[in-house]
A = this chain, B = another copy of it.
Amino acid sequence: MNQTVPPTSDDTSFDTETCSNTTDIRRVRSNPDYWYPVAWSRELKPGKTIGTRYAGMPIALVRPVDGPVFALEDRCAHRQVPLSKGVVSGSSVKCCYHGWAYGRSGRCIDVPYLGKGKLPNGVRTFPCREQNGMIFVFPGDPEKADSVPLAPHLAKADNPAYKTRYFGRTVGCHYSFMHENLMDMNHQFMHSKQMGQMKPRFLGQKREPGLVEARYSFARTSGKQPFGEALIFGERRDVSEKFQHRDVMTIRTEYPYQTLRIQTGDEDPVMDLWIVYTPQSADELTNRTFGLLSVKRPKIPGILDMAWPLLVAFTERIFAEDREIVELEQQAWRDLGGDHNVEVFPVINALRALLVECGISPASESHA
């Protein structure tokens, strides 16, 4: 009776099977040959430097008073203390300890007590770009950086017809839990206190190289529409038949990013979320989330701006529930010493396969 799957569609059939592949998905490292956001632009003032991180690699972001941001390994070549504790001087950064200075190229250009002819080697650099209020680095092979698109599908944040919320924080879990959480809309059950009871219907999936997509519609089975949701849709929706299963939610992991769009028919999306989970620690069991949530402005000007704090509070509550559960999943993984998931939902198994294929699997000897 709870079977909501259209039995005629091949790509939505279910099999009960354990995730029995030999690779533990929580040990798969993110692929460094992509652009990852590592900081919000607003965090880094002109003439300053801050420390950030990708998968255990400390990164100093430096914003000269003139010229674009650049990114160095955040360890002085001398004694490995963070360059981000240092002082920006012109377009170089001086280590706070003994004043060794590094330029945009990472080369050591001055040791105050040493002759110019004897300067030591410098530090590693990372390709670095700024877009949509985020600072991105390319932690992998720098030769590949130019040919890899920076944050695709992030168009709505620049579109004046939308208002965008920039949000995120550090979450104590492997990025794969984040992808699975968002794509499996059966977890609406968890948000019923915030959302009311919403019954998802799985409409189908798409699998292409580097991409998995799931489509859902929803029926409200009880409870009132929350105001935050009404804001997103730009209208009040009761439980009457005409609203049931009318909108389509499309969730896509296009490695390593994730998007969620809500559309009614062929209209522009009423909501467009772009989100990515940048690994923080070397074991990648923590991530920092960077999310841009764009909501279509309704016809009455100003109403969305006025009600924005409510939408922020609504999405914060949802995100807090998600954060708690994925951290519990990570804890269970630690306790059990590995992944024991029994996944019955094909699109999630497709997603897991994608993340393993696109990521860097541990060599057998590094299984710990």
Residues of A at the B interface (CB closer than 8 Å) are: 1-5, 14-16, 56, 58, 75, 77-82, 85, 94, 96-99, 110-116, 118-121, 184, 186-187, 189-190, 200, 202, 325, 328-329, 332-333, 335-336, 340-345
Contacts and interface: CB of A to CB of B under 8 A. Distances in A.
21 contacts: A1-B116, A2-B111, A4-B112, A15-B118, A16-B119, A56-B335, A77-B342, A78-B344, A80-B333, A80-B336, A80-B340, A80-B341, A81-B325, A81-B329, A81-B332, A97-B190, A98-B186, A99-B189, A111-B344, A114-B344, A118-B344
B118 A325 contact: no
Nearest to A322: B97
Contacts of A56: 335
Contact of A328 (B3, B81, B200): B81
A321 to B, nearest CB: 9
**Most interface-central of A4, A77, A80, A343 (chain B CB within 10 A):** A80
Contact of A85 (B3, B82, B328, B333): B328
How many copies of the shown chain assemble into the complex? 3
Given A80-B333, A120-B342, A332-B81, A4 B113 contact: yes
Given A85-B328, A114-B14, A119-B16, A98 B187 contact: yes
Contacts of A2: 110-114, 116
A66 B97 CA distance: 49
A176 B3 CA distance: 53
Given A56-B335, A85-B325, A98-B190, 12 more contacts: A1-B116, A2-B112, A4-B113, A14-B114, A16-B114, A58-B335, A81-B329, A81-B332, A82-B328, A96-B325, A112-B186, A118-B344
